[in-house]
Amino acid sequence: MVTTKGGVILSIMRQFSIPLKFVGVGEGADDLIPVDPAAYVDTLFE
C-alpha cells in the first residue's frame, strides 16, 4: 500500500540526491526491507 507519504519520498530523493535503499513496513528497525524501485513506481500508479 502506498500513501501520500510514500509519494513525497520521490521529491525528497530528487531534491537532495539521496538514494532510497530501504523502506519501513512497520514501526521497528527489523521492519526495514530493501527497495525495489520498479515495484515501488508500479505501486504508485495502481
pLDDT at 9 exceeding the cut of 90: no
pLDDT digits (tens, 9 = 90+) for 15-38: 999 888 887 778 888 888 898 878
**Contact status, residue 22 vs residue 28, Cβ threshold 8 Å:** no
pLDDT at 1 exceeding the cut of 70: no
- How many folded domains does the chain comprise? 1
pLDDT at 2 exceeding the cut of 60: no
At 23 the pLDDT is: 78
The grid cell for 5 is 507519504
At 16 the pLDDT is: 93
State which residues form the domain around 10.
Answer: 4-44
d(CA 32, CA 36): 13
